Amino acid sequence: MNDQTITLTYAHIHGCIEQLEALAKGCCVDGRRSTIKALVLDMQAYLDTRLDTGTLAVGERDFDADVEQLSEWGAILGRLNVTCCTDQRAPHYRDAFDHLRAAYEQLMAAAGIGH
């Protein structure tokens, strides 16, 4: 994986984190806020352990695990989105999903998969 792909993937996951932090700040339900904060911590840990070197070659990365991780985050985000009590937060959810999708596309492109 080249440095540009890692940088773009990192930027998109970080963009998702920023949207989640905005959602957590405005969330009125403690349990949901805790779920959002846990998701942020999980994403940050992923960035710290998987994307921090910027030097891994395509063959050295586990793309299946990376894609599965993005999918799991998307599922959690989807549950939070459909159970949100106000449509005022919809732009944050949309932007968070857009960042996850873009991170996925970067990983797939780096693996030579995609359209």
Q: Determine the distance from the C-alpha atom of residue 43 to the mean position of all C-alpha atoms in its chain, rounded to a whole number.
A: 6
Residue-wise pLDDT for 14-53, tens only, equals 999 999 999 999 888 888 999 999 999 999 998 887 765 5
User: How confident is the model at residue 57, as a pLDDT?
Assistant: 39
- pLDDT category at 110 given cuts 50, 70, 90 is confident
Contact yes or no for 16/96 (Cβ under 8 A): yes
Q: Tell me what the pLDDT averaged over the chain comes to.
A: 85
Would you say residue 2 has pLDDT above 50?
A: yes
Q: What is the pLDDT of residues 76-91, one digit of tens each?
A: 999 999 999 888 999 9
pTM over 0.75: yes
Second-level CATH architecture of 3-53+60-110? Up-down Bundle (1.20)
Q: What is the pLDDT of residue 66?
A: 84
What is the 3-state secondary structure of 69-112?
A: HHHHHHHHHHHHHHCCCCHHHHHHHHHHHHHHHHHHHHHHHHCC
Burial of 77: CB neighbours in 10 Å, binned 0-12, 13-18, 19+: buried
Q: Which residue from 103, 93, 74, 71 is spatially nearest to 26, judged by alpha carbons?
A: 93
